[in-house]
Structure 1
């Protein structure tokens, strides 16, 4: 009786009973797509011993082609449990030969015209003494497929679409076909003898939003768009992620703190910097390229930023927090840039930003690579920054090249250098998590053999794949190792239902005994202890998606701008009035260069957006150099004497002082005293440069300004100088005349001392006398001088 009633239930839940239909082809859908099948709901999402022994799949078939389709029928198919990590991906693509029908085709519509759709609902027991059933008798992860066939106008019956998803079975409930007084005896629980140590990183990140090329101390803050206002507001993406983590780890929901121990917030410092800036008010640029000169409008997310950041600070007090690489910069590209200072900002200095803004002590010692692969250049960059545990996906393909079989993924810790040890994550699990949500993606580290089409699957189907991937290793007690790190994409776009389901799966795995919490500090300590002392060969230089690689033009532009900026920063000092330092003033521009290398941007758009951002940043760096100049007088100077100082005026439009040197290209005959290092404060600084001139003429003098390390500042100035100082010829003539006078005076004195008349006196007129016969004083003064009177 029970078997017959179950069969009746199956028939009643379908739209119509199957007729005598031609069998559809088992191949993939044709190139021209006529029908689109989507899964709207799977109940239960996770099968457990305490749940119902039935699985319900509901969905819809839509005609998206250019003609009507007749005799539209659907069928549910199932395959054997997944046995390898690769199977989590390969079972979702391919020919589908491994699938077997659960029941017959069922008609859902006699005909679907263009634009029409029809709903379906499939309902089957997990196992049953009589067909139809899913034939699932033990825990595991099972691939399911819904197949839709039809006959397009002017065509033959064919398989027109399918939808695949994974069904995680934590425990098998009692068989409803068994007439037993003790149904618990038929329960098949999972094997919990070897639980998996599980760690889950919960990302809070976004793609770069701050407008490029804006140095520090610029108010108000300028954003390229206002999408963060929506994301931080109630119901937004970042609000959903924060709310889900807060709820799942709250004491009422997680009284034993099991989920709280396994979960750790992975926070991008760039997001914190942006949100923290939004709390004081900001503007949004309206220029097409996000430039600094375009019009702006007030931002609308200040209140949302204040509330979100306050909630995050509160959650961070009771939950593990770790920092991602700044702006999720690509470490492989950053190594190609070859800037150790920029690499330090991206890695070792990122936790300082998180700690300062959130007021906590974040977990140190691990580097989260996120979307990118761990390549040889990335290992070299990390090794130069000090000891770290690199949390990254290893290189893994769907099939072994020799045997053609699906190999197990290698999750054993490796030591590549004395400084770098890896804590591997399963790339197939990471890819399944990346497929969840409203904007599915494939991580850059994923090998092409593991890629599956994401856009054709519904959000519900992709959520099922993520749930199954999270639970798969726990359901395979023989699979090694018995530890796992769950790493979703940093920019994760989940709906509230998605986030709740995934965190519920984490709690289910722990509460069912399939997993135990493994806090991130424990991961770091155990990885360092388990890593062999022998260093392994470095990974390949190029791994994963080749389209995600940053071009050489982007890398060289970042390197050039970064080198110039470091040179300028070294010359800047602290403004005593405001406390602003040169490093703080130029920090946003260095961060811009990391934002240009961000992996949060989809691969196809990375290079274009990176070029746009670094071009604006490089322009600003040039403007900073040109902001320190020599004021051009626009006329000519006249030096009154040979030692008259050269008057100059220096101008500094930066908000911090800068250490500079003057370079005066003096012509021959002009000596300039080196003034040494000059601290030029913001504003104007008049100078009097000591010079010595040994000519009388008009000359051109070139004066330039540079940093103490020799970098040119501003534009050189050419001064027109006119000197009234004695020249060499006039100096010689004067000296000769003085010598002649000296000789003549000496000769007269010589004759006088000897009592002889001098020849110069022989032609003198007779001496005139006065009335008393004394010499005329005028004649005496003229002829003999004062000493002869």
Structure 2
């Protein structure tokens, strides 16, 4: 048939189907929920069993609710369960949920609903389908199978269409007894499946148990407001009060601990052996601050903005107490501080900052939880590792790390462990991470997951998403071959079942218990063996297969690297770090305060790590805006600290009492710790100013400093005085003084010398004349004393005083020697 005639026939067929009201299967790339127009929603409320084993019944029961969201009634409703082909790769765990309906070729018998659904009306239903029967799901081997629950009906004035659908997956660890399979049992060695039992049951595959290591992350986006000083000198301030709700028992973080608590009581000890709780130190620092009482900032960009009291103190106290109890029983390890991106740390290039993020994180966890956390392995937040990030780890003697399957090894290994330079890597499957991130109240999609692997989850119920997560958890134990081949389609993780949820995932208590119970079942079945993170860390250095570090396909490099910080922002962070380090060096520990210079400025260094936190859902523009906010807030606080230590300006004019009078200055310190300062004084040559050295200014107070000076002139001298810390940081604004002195300089010196010489000469002349018995020529014009004056001069002192009272206009002037004799 010619091609044009074929095209015409296809167009005619499509038109006929459209006229008859029949639905056409969506394209392969269409999402699983592409039902257009939208007629109804199909909600799965229960699937039994969630994991198929040989001890259960040979059927699957699904309960759900169908709701008419159309504007007209829908009648002739039928619901059926469909199955797709067994999932063969980890990627198919997500893509099978996006496949066209034609891929779900195995159909169960339909369930017919008698009622007609009016607009907005709902109806409950229960559907059962045999596992292995021809009219059921026809499952005869273990593995993970995609399921589609579909509903068809007839909208008013229309034909039969598919009105709603929902998808999930079903893990099959083993199969119960089945008459059809029992009839095929021969018992001969090597005949068919050796796991087939006489009753038709299929045993689990325990020939090569997967090594199960389950990481349980506890983290939250940074919540501490930037630019707040520590050591208890300022109130703890948060950017919002969202963490209060998250820490509550019904919140995201509270539910995780509640689930771990419940599971710890009745869980198989082997589950606990393979489980390790990975805690973000920044979360612990924040929650600990909340237990001391905290405030919520009205403007996170302004460290001095108004606040309101926080409401989560009690929730924080209960959460921390619960975590400390669990930490005594479970493995605890530290995530990088604030989920700081390793590539950003490499760009900043600050050794101390990288140390705090990578190795110092464990010290914080140990101090706040009172345990000894597991060290030696790094879990990057973004899930990938670049060459620069690897070099950061190597520089801090971190020889083991965890990364997703974004690697290209020389050959595949059963353990999924490889080596990139000096760092050994344990790989994990990103689609499993995505499936676990989809559970809970706030589904999280890993930023490095390609869009073509992410199904639409808007219409999926919590139960369907939980069921898919359980299936993804079971997949490595059920589907991965013992020895990987060189086929690129095979998983690089091999027989490893290293399970790493997104760090900000939000499982409910039911979700968490469902996952832990599934892990318990898999271990009990023998398809998995626990491998603790401590044992895995000890084994990682033995990895010898080299691998290239690559960016996941269809993912922007910036996204794969966790949105590394820009060069301009990195320069601003370095400047802030240098300044805070210099200020810390000038501060002094006060015996009256708990705060130390280190704890006082530690939040500002931690703010640098929060600024490079790996985003989970923000766009690049949002990430840059948050980074600028934190960097600018720290800059503002450092500027405020410099202005908090200042010289009190005496008014611009200062007069010295003498040429050697000291210059008196008052220094104010509004910081919470004593600070050591020195003066930088610029004065003219006529004013010699001494150096007072380093002075210590008390906290929240003032101190008077005497600066020795020597003026050689009485002329006005302009002096510029600036103050610096002992480490050279300029403080406040310099002041300018006009200094005046009572010194008269060289003219006064020569006048004094001449006056002294004249005094000596005149005294010598008088003495010369007295020794010769001649009157001094200067006395020649004086009259001779009369007899009365001579008598009074020799009279007693009392008589002379009485005479002076009688004649006050001519008081007696007795010689000094006479007064002494009278006395």
**1:304 Cα deviation (Å)?**
3.0
1:582 aligns with 2:593: no
Deviation by residue 1:189-243 (Cα, 9 ceiling, x = unmatched):
1211111111111122222233332211235433333333333333333232123
Q: Is the 8 A contact 1:646 1:691 kept in 2?
A: yes
**1:262 Cα deviation (Å)?**
0.5
Q: Is the 8 A contact 2:690 2:708 kept in 1?
A: yes
Corresponding position of 2:524? 511
Q: Is the 8 A contact 2:439 2:465 kept in 1?
A: yes
Q: Residues of 1 paired with 2:754 and 2:306: CA distance?
A: 77
Q: Residues of 2 paired with 1:593 and 1:530: CA distance?
A: 34
Equivalent residue in structure 1 for 2:577, among 540, 562, 571: 562
How is 1:212-361 mapped onto 2 (pairs within 5 angstroms)?
212-216=226-230, 217-218=232-233, 220-250=235-265, 252-254=266-268, 257-280=269-292, 282-285=293-296, 287=298, 289=300, 291-361=302-372
> 712-721 or 223-232, which moves further after superposition?
223-232
Cα 1:162–1:99 change in 2 (3 A) is same
Q: Residues of 2 paired with 1:555 and 1:37: CA distance?
A: 49
Q: Residues of 1 paired with 2:407 and 2:74: CA distance?
A: 42
**1:579 Cα deviation (Å)?**
4.2
**1:555 Cα deviation (Å)?**
4.5
1:162 aligns with 2:165: yes
Deviation by residue 1:640-682 (Cα, 9 ceiling, x = unmatched):
3333222111122112222322111223433333333333331
For structure 2, the residue ranges without an aligned partner over 5 or more in a row are 1-19, 186-196, 485-493, 782-823
Q: Residues of 2 paired with 1:781 and 1:46: CA distance?
A: 140
Q: Residues of 2 paired with 1:291 and 1:741: CA distance?
A: 70
How is 1:345-744 mapped onto 2 (pairs within 5 angstroms)?
345-395=356-406, 412-418=416-422, 420-476=423-479, 478-479=481-482, 480=484, 481-532=494-545, 543=557, 545=559, 549=563, 552=566, 555-599=570-614, 602-604=617-619, 605-682=622-699, 683-727=701-745, 731=746
Corresponding position of 2:96? 91
Q: Is the 8 A contact 2:214 2:498 kept in 1?
A: yes
Deviation by residue 1:743-762 (Cα, 9 ceiling, x = unmatched):
9x99x9xxxxxxxxxxxx9x
Secondary structure of 2:679 counterpart: strand
Corresponding position of 1:49? 54
**1:356 Cα deviation (Å)?**
0.9
Cα 1:108–1:515 change in 2 (3 A) is same
Corresponding position of 2:143? 140
Q: Residues of 1 paired with 2:216 and 2:773: CA distance?
A: 124
Q: Residues of 1 paired with 2:248 and 2:547: CA distance?
A: 48
> 535-544 or 167-176, which moves further after superposition?
535-544
**1:295 Cα deviation (Å)?**
4.6
Equivalent residue in structure 2 for 1:115, among 100, 120, 126: 120
**1:535 Cα deviation (Å)?**
8.1
**1:584 Cα deviation (Å)?**
0.5
Secondary structure of 1:612 counterpart: helix
Secondary structure of 2:634 counterpart: helix
Q: Is the 8 A contact 1:248 1:503 kept in 2?
A: yes
Cα 1:546–1:516 change in 2 (3 A) is closer
**1:774 Cα deviation (Å)?**
6.2
Cα 1:205–1:109 change in 2 (3 A) is farther
**1:439 Cα deviation (Å)?**
0.9
Cα 1:393–1:145 change in 2 (3 A) is same
Corresponding position of 1:60? 65
Deviation by residue 1:362-391 (Cα, 9 ceiling, x = unmatched):
111011113443223322322222223111
Q: Is the 8 A contact 1:36 1:63 kept in 2?
A: yes
Q: Residues of 2 paired with 1:679 and 1:498: CA distance?
A: 59
Cα 1:181–1:394 change in 2 (3 A) is closer
Q: Is the 8 A contact 1:26 1:159 kept in 2?
A: no
Q: Is the 8 A contact 1:643 1:691 kept in 2?
A: yes
> 191-200 or 619-628, which moves further after superposition?
619-628
**1:324 Cα deviation (Å)?**
0.9
TM-score, structure 2 as length reference? 0.79
Secondary structure of 1:484 counterpart: strand
> 618-627 or 137-146, which moves further after superposition?
618-627
Aligned alpha-carbon RMSD (Å): 3.7
Cα 1:108–1:645 change in 2 (3 A) is farther
**1:151 Cα deviation (Å)?**
5.4
Q: Residues of 1 paired with 2:526 and 2:222: CA distance?
A: 40
**1:628 Cα deviation (Å)?**
1.5
Secondary structure of 1:575 counterpart: coil
Q: Residues of 2 paired with 1:411 and 1:429: CA distance?
A: 17
Corresponding position of 2:798? none
Corresponding position of 1:764? none
- Count of residues in Structure 1 that have an aligned counterpart in Structure 2: 722
For structure 1, the residue ranges without an aligned partner over 5 or more in a row are 1-20, 401-406, 749-760, 762-768, 783-789
Q: Is the 8 A contact 1:703 1:717 kept in 2?
A: yes
**1:159 Cα deviation (Å)?**
4.1
Q: Is the 8 A contact 2:75 2:115 kept in 1?
A: yes
Cα 1:446–1:375 change in 2 (3 A) is farther
**1:92 Cα deviation (Å)?**
1.4
Secondary structure of 1:231 counterpart: helix
Q: Residues of 1 paired with 2:389 and 2:289: CA distance?
A: 31
Cα 1:707–1:188 change in 2 (3 A) is same
Q: Is the 8 A contact 2:73 2:118 kept in 1?
A: yes
Q: Is the 8 A contact 2:106 2:138 kept in 1?
A: no
| Greater Cα radius of gyration, structure 1 or 2 | 2
Secondary structure of 2:103 counterpart: coil
Secondary structure of 2:733 counterpart: strand
> 441-450 or 83-92, which moves further after superposition?
441-450
Secondary structure of 2:169 counterpart: strand
Cα 1:149–1:561 change in 2 (3 A) is farther
Q: Residues of 2 paired with 1:32 and 1:656: CA distance?
A: 68
**1:30 Cα deviation (Å)?**
5.1
Q: Residues of 2 paired with 1:661 and 1:315: CA distance?
A: 52
